[in-house]
A and B are shown apart, each in its own frame.
Chain A
């Protein structure tokens, strides 16, 4: 039994008369502690997959299992609980609470968890020990994303979901963020799932899931993932 499994997961949006099949039967599995990259062109359905995996959206069909739990059967409340305790989310645009300092942003997430990590430690871990009391507006994009990652990690989630984490960042910063994510995976044993349209990132993952037109095109496994530093795009 894999840590995460998608079995024939479907997602349909009903827009009036038209039914759009955003995801049309996706199957894949992810093991605990793996670094997975889900890659595909725009509109392929990868965000929908992420939404369903992150408990932000329910699936229309199929089964989603995370750590033995049938997430696809969860009701709204259970989904919230699931997001609360099991998922750490990193957004493309960081989505930090502007009114809270870096530390507070992390603590904000930590306060609702059962078993959070120390916010200060996490921030130091992501290299922001000196910017604890800065507001998001006072931080660069990379720094903000680090705060976002720290926020996700502080919850001590089962998996870390990252939606285009480098999308709003420049190359160097993006690389640093990816490095942070990869290190987190390797050092903390965190299951990390990154969604990107950038195929160049695929070598760094343990497993690469290609999604096209709402289906899994193919799944590659890298027995020897390349460290981020060595990847160029």
Chain B
């Protein structure tokens, strides 16, 4: 009974203690609550978010991984995959990109088992021509559930979808699309705007584009946990052999067939080509022959023409000559007739003379013959004697008796010879008469011959004259005939030539036609051949490009949304790693001080109780209980608030970017327990420590007033000239500051911590949002960009040019060359946009190139590129280093400068440099626009609508929209920052209040004494304030320094790869942090002033406790 009663009273005391010092109790409670709320809140946020996501994934049977194949997947592939160890379910999916109005959509087959859709509005498709999509698309296209969605397919896969018109029957969310990223597309501007799910039977191709799978037992694991990661990695790795095998099989079947087909096609092509070429060459030959013939024809035509002319001329000439001959013949004939008459007269004279001569001769002859007749008779007898001599000799001729005969007959002979000689001499006497007669005879004969001859000549002349006359007559008739004949011949020849010319011309025309036909035919054939060749080559290239079929087995962590959500929630987790710890430490320190103070205050009572014989445990129970109950209640309250509110606020902010269902709280008993325990242990431990260190002392000592903490000289006193100038109150302040060192550091760290947190909070906010100003006001001076189709005609662009020049809203515009490429050094590659700059001066009116830390100008040299700062950090390169640009070509370039930029990565280079690097002219595919000051969104929309209607304009993007999107995506971090600032402010207030309170209660006696000494209230307050002021200032200075580093560290923690946050907290963050801290300090001090006023001077009379 006694025991019970005693305990009762101690409990009563303990309870009354709480009631009496409720503000202190409350402050411990609040500190514990804040610390636990903040710690548990930030700590549970990431797990809660990930838990929510995990539940969502499990509920929708999100794939654990998926397989992509460069050649598509077959039913057998799916079966093989399903048969692999560790695979639970497999589902094939088909997808393609299409255009809906001006948006690129990813059209997917409706899922059956995996990646199920959450219906937000409406229902899932039932008919084959129904689809579901996401809210985003409806907003962008101004459609509603029930409307019709028209899809336009790319030319290459026009036939890939059965239907292109779908009724939108519902709005859904897909676990594959939790983020804002909808993936890349080969169409349009290269990125997908939204997804559309249609019934799978719409897809006409036979292969699957993707195979989704789940692993056995993986759904039960936390998707963002280590075990899941290990298991899915292992599973993905284990599928490698299968992937290789199936890929090879697919390659063999598909590429083999394709190659065979292609080879056949090529052979066919070659045949056709040869045939065509043969035909062409035949045709050519024919044409050549025709030509030759034509040429010959022409030649003979010309020859004929020449011959005709020549012949005609000859004939004419002959005719002329004949004419002249005839004329001269006629003249000659007339002459001849005259000469003939003369001749005839002369003849007749001659004849008369002859006949006289002849009569003379005949007389002479008759005289001679009378003289010669005896001689001739002698002579005839002799000749008979000679004949008898030779006849007697004749039989011996040739015989040896011949000579004897001759000699025997010699006498005869000699007679004969003598006769002979007599006759001869007769003759010789007659001879001159004879000769005279003969000569006359000859003369007469000559005359006669001459006369005959003349007669003959005259006769022939006459004949000849007659003949000539006849001839001339004939000549004239012939001449006349010839003239007629020549005329005829001329006409004939001409006609013939004309016919030939006509024929030739005809032939020429036919030849020209034939040639043209041939050319056409050849051109057509060439084109067809080239076409076919190109098709074949393309097909071959395509086949060759495929090289090997490759299977990509990927885990769900390659999905941008899923992994982004993880990383972003982890970023919150990073925030949670340091902030709450600092926070917690400060709160714990404050609790410790408070409890220590409390025990100190009750030193005498403890001594008394100890003296009465209470056990240490019994005595310390009160304090431990006090601390325990305060921290426990506070901790639990803080836990309840922190674990619900903070995750909700942050998760809510995340919903701007992620389509994850409303937050579900993950029971994290360990963490809850740990958080509360930490608060309880810190506070209770402090109480216990304070108690024990007091309880060690003997009761006697305890009951005696504790020797006041000795005053000490401080270092400052050694600096005489300062010290002497200080008033006592300042001296006291100085000494106090250093006397209570624990409290000094406590306060300084507490205030400093809070200041640092506030600096960081504001700094982060500023770092995040200032970059938007920097980026969009100072770096990007342009307001919009136009994507230009480089294939269009120049005149189409002139229209754009004209419009831009005339538009009252467009202040300036600049065609630019922007290329997307990958930039890398030794590490992973980063995506960047490369601008090839023509005129730097003009370019910098649209995009400012400058350094972040100095005002030095930037130039674009011919042998180096300029990159943006964050890119240089990610690539770990500096000026002078070499980077690899991987666009259409892969080239190395030297970094010549690094420029200020915050959002995305850019590479700038001069056109000269571009040419020397890439070996081609940069293509101007963008137009940067700058609007006038007055132009806003409405004007931008107007310009956009106008321009987008023009040919050649592919896209339009308004930078303010970009900026808004960016702001939205950064909001999540900002929410966390707001939480931090609020909590830090609350903490700062509580800590300051608590410490000031302790400061006052601890020295209430001193303060009372001062009052008794006649210090005014304000002097007393000032006495305390000076210390607080000093502590606050010191704390602020420390906090600003800490804040600077904390901020830098935090910026790097929360920064994403695509963005460079401001690296330094702005001045205003420091100023604001200092001002806020001072404001809290002032508020606390005002409260303290009233507390000080209440300090009872009677306290000074009390015994020292």
- Asked if A202 is at the interface of the complex by the 8 Å CB criterion, the answer is no
Q: How far is the CA of A14 from the CA of B965 in the complex (A)?
A: 67
Question: What is the CB-to-nearest-CB distance from A171 to chain B, in angstroms, rounded to a whole number?
Answer: 18
- Expressed in whole angstroms, the minimum distance between the Cβ of A77 and any Cβ of chain B is 7
Q: At the interface, yes or no: A146 with Cβ under 8 Å from chain B?
A: no
**Is B710 at the interface (CB under 8 A from chain A)?**
yes
Please tell me if the beta carbons of A83 and B708 are within 8 angstroms of each other in the complex.
no
| A-contacting residues, B983-1027, CB 8 Å | 1005-1006, 1008-1017, 1019
Does B234 have its Cβ within 8 Å of any Cβ on chain A?
A: no
- Interface stretch of the complex, out of B171-179, B261-269, B731-739: B731-739
- Identity of the chain B residue whose Cβ is nearest the Cβ of A105 in the assembled complex: B728
CB <8 Å contact, B1014 and A98 = no
Report if A107 contacts B (CB, 8 A): yes
Contact B727 A111 (CB under 8 A): yes
Is B711 part of the contact surface with A, judged by Cβ < 8 Å? yes
A residues near B331, Cβ cutoff 8 Å? none
A82 and B1015 CA atoms in complex are apart in Å by: 10
A23 within 8 Å of B by Cβ?
no
From A56, A85, A138, give the contact of B710 (CB < 8 A): A138
**A176, CB-defined interface residue at 8 Å:** no
* Interface hits, A69-97 → B, CB 8 Å: 76-77, 80-85, 87, 89, 91-93, 95, 97
Interface bracket on B: 20 to 34
The distance from the CB of A40 to the nearest CB of chain B, in whole angstroms, is: 15
50-77 of chain A: CB within 8 A of chain B: 51, 54, 56-57, 76-77
Q: Least Cβ distance of B124 to chain A in Å?
A: 73
**In the complex, B1104 has a CB within 8 A of chain A:** yes
A98–B1098 touching, CB < 8 Å: no
Q: A87–B1014 contact, CB under 8 A?
A: yes
Closest CB in chain B relative to A113 CB, distance in Å = 8
Whole-angstrom distance from the CB of A71 to the nearest CB of chain B?
13
The distance from the CB of A101 to the nearest CB of chain B, in whole angstroms, is 7
Tell me the residues in window 185-199 of chain A with beta carbons closer than 8 Å to chain B beta carbons. none
**A93 contacts across to B, CB distance below 8 A:** 705, 1103-1104
Q: Among A51, A97, A135, find the residue whose CB has the most chain B CB atoms closer than 10 A.
A: A97
Q: Are A91 and B1100 in contact (CB under 8 A)?
A: yes
Known: A99-B711, A137-B708. A91 touches B1098 (CB 8 A): no
Whether B708 and A56, one on each chain, are in contact in the complex, defined by CB atoms closer than 8 angstroms, is: no
Q: Does B978 contact A (CB under 8 A)?
A: no
Q: Which residues of the other chain, B, contact A95 by a CB distance below 8 angstroms?
A: 1005-1006, 1008-1009, 1012, 1100
Main secondary structure of the interface of B (DSSP, over half): helix
Give the contacts of B1079-1105 with A (CB-CB under 8 A): 1097-1098, 1100-1101, 1103-1104
> Do the beta carbons of A81 and B1014 come within 8 Å of each other?
yes
Q: How far is the CA of A163 from the CA of B1009 in the complex (A)?
A: 13
Q: A56-B1097, A112-B1019 are in contact. Are A83 and B1012 (CB under 8 A)?
A: yes
Cβ of B707 within 8 Å of any chain A Cβ, yes or no, is yes
Flag whether B712 is at the interface (Cβ < 8 A).
yes
Bound state CA distance, A104 and B1013, in angstroms? 14
A156 proximal to B (CB < 8 A): no
B1016 touches A80 (CB 8 A): yes
Do B1005 and A92 touch (CB < 8 A)? no
B1009 x A101 contact (CB < 8 A): no
**Is B709 interfacial (CB 8 A cutoff)?**
yes
Instruction: Tell me which of A82, A83, A107, A136 contacts B711 (CB under 8 A).
Output: A136
Shortest distance from the beta carbon of B678 to any chain A beta carbon, whole Å? 36
Cα of A109 to Cα of B1012 in the assembled complex, Å = 10
A128, B1010: Cα distance in complex, Å: 22
Shortest distance in angstroms between A124's beta carbon and chain B's nearest beta carbon? 19
Contact A135 B711 (CB under 8 A): yes
What residues of A have a CB within 8 angstroms of the CB of B1019 in the complex? Answer: 112
Interface string of A150-185 (1 = CB under 8 A from B): 010001000000010000000000000000000000
A-chain residues with CB within 8 Å of residue B710 when the two chains form the complex: 98, 135, 137-138
B735 touching A100, Cβ below 8 Å = yes
- B828 shortest CB reach to chain A, Å: 62
CB distance from A213 to the nearest CB of B (A): 20
Contact B728 A83 (CB under 8 A): no
Q: Which residues of A contact B1017 (CB under 8 A)?
A: 76, 80
Contact present for B1103 and A92 (CB under 8 Å): yes
| Closest beta carbon of chain A to B1090's beta carbon, Å | 13
A-B contact pairs, 5 of them (CB 8 A): A47-B1098, A57-B1097, A99-B739, A104-B728, A108-B1013
Q: Can you add 19 more A-B contacts, CB < 8 Å, to A98-B739, A111-B728?
A: A47-B1098, A56-B1011, A77-B1016, A80-B1014, A81-B1014, A85-B1014, A92-B1101, A95-B1100, A97-B1006, A98-B708, A99-B711, A99-B736, A100-B731, A100-B732, A101-B711, A107-B728, A135-B712, A137-B707, A137-B711
Report B's interface with A, CB cutoff 8 A.
Answer: 705, 707-712, 727-729, 731-732, 735-736, 739, 1005-1006, 1008-1017, 1019, 1097-1098, 1100-1101, 1103-1104
Binding site for B on A (CB under 8 A): 47, 51, 54, 56-57, 76-77, 80-85, 87, 89, 91-93, 95, 97-101, 104, 107-109, 111-113, 135-138, 151, 155, 163
A-B pairs with lowest CB-CB distance, top 9 = A84-B1014, A99-B735, A137-B710, A83-B1014, A135-B711, A95-B1009, A56-B1097, A99-B711, A108-B728
